[in-house]
Amino acid sequence: MTKTRPTLGEFIIDNQQDFPYSTGELSRLIRSIRLAAKVVNHEVNKAGLVDITGAAGEQNIQGEDQQKLDVFANNIFIQTLTNREIVCGIASEENDDFITIAGSRNDHKNKYVVLMDPLDGSSNIDVNVSVGTIFSIYRRVTPLGTPVTSEDFLQPGNLQVAAGYIIYGTSTMLVYTTGHGVNGFTLNPALGSWYLSHPDMKFPENGNIYSINEGNYAHFPTGVKKYIKYCQEEEGDRPYTSRYIGSMVSDIHRNMIKGGIYIYPKSTKYDKGKLRLLYECNPMAFIVEQAGGKASDGYQRVMDIMPTELHERSAIFCGSKKMVEKAEAFMKEFGD
């Protein structure tokens, strides 16, 4: 593989023409994320050998217990992006507010902000199940030379310039898009290099996997309950297969390769949904759409939602286009 496939660095250089407005910052930003991912991957692979599993003893802004690896991954990504002085601001699921980065010249002239979920599915670490990192990149909207404001982060997903995820599993992969398709790169741990292993990734138009936490069935809207029963009916190519890992990155990655739908709806427990619009739903929706799939909150395109809060939540239905459209039809017919 290493002799015939381009590395991530080579791929970035070869595709610079996709960014006529960029002077290299975006490419350097992707390379910084690549570096941070290698550091986090190294620590994830030591889980069980060092004291890195379990709860950190604190809660994040959403009131969720932080895992030790949540804190570690968050710090590594923030440090890497800050030290390289290529972003003007960072927002993380693990932080109360966004971070302003001025740079050593204190000129606030960098163009991009990054929003991230540093370790998606971190509770799976203790049981050795795949976890991931999700990131989203926007061009700032406030004037260069001024500190970033909330306006730079509260942008709809359709204005993303890049998004991606890293999955730490049986192999470690970085999958990302800049609006020109989706490509996946696998880390060769012996060489420390990422190689193009999954070029031009595409969702099958239809699939036979549905991914949802059925343990919350009693709390789901009627439309979701009806769709689940539809998936379980013995008719045509159904029943579908139920697969749910509990890590958004892992579930969507599998469904992109095999064909399927991922659903995390609003419920009586989470009246707006549980997943974060800016850190999880928008970046994954961008990837899904660029891979030929569809991403919705059950009624409208996720990336058209105008965010009003940094930690805003949303429902999400995403994956193979025909499956999402069928789920939307149930939501339209039966509503909440």
Give the H or E element holding residue 74. helix 68-83
- The three-state secondary structure class of 314 is strand
Answer yes or no: is 122 a known binding residue.
Answer: yes
Answer yes or no: is 57 a known binding residue.
Answer: no
Answer yes or no: is 235 a known binding residue.
Answer: no
Answer yes or no: is 230 a known binding residue.
Answer: no
Both structure tokens of 215: 């343990």
The Cα 274–Cα 271 span in angstroms is 8
Give the H or E element holding residue 79. helix 68-83
- Cα-Cα-Cα-Cα torsion 310, 62, 250, 19, nearest 10 degrees, comes to 20
| DSSP states of 112-132 | EEEEEEEEETGGGGGGT--EE
The residues, any chain, with a CB within 8 Å of residue 75's CB and separated by 6 or more, are none
Answer yes or no: is 120 a known binding residue.
Answer: yes
The residues, any chain, with a CB within 8 Å of residue 282's CB and separated by 6 or more, are 115, 136, 156, 157, 160, 163, 302, 303
Answer yes or no: is 119 a known binding residue.
Answer: yes
End-to-end Cα, the chain, rounded Å: 49
Answer yes or no: is 208 a known binding residue.
Answer: no
The Cα 229–Cα 247 span in angstroms is 23
Answer yes or no: is 213 a known binding residue.
Answer: yes
Answer yes or no: is 123 a known binding residue.
Answer: yes
Yes or no: say if 74 and 133 are a contact pair by the CB < 8 Å rule: no
> Taken in order 228, 230, 231, 232, is the CA torsion positive or negative?
positive
**Annotation: binding site:** 93, 117, 119-123, 213, 244, 274, 280
Output the known binding site for substrate.
120-123, 213, 244, 274
Q: Which residues are annotated as a binding site for Mg(2+)?
A: 93, 117, 119-120, 280
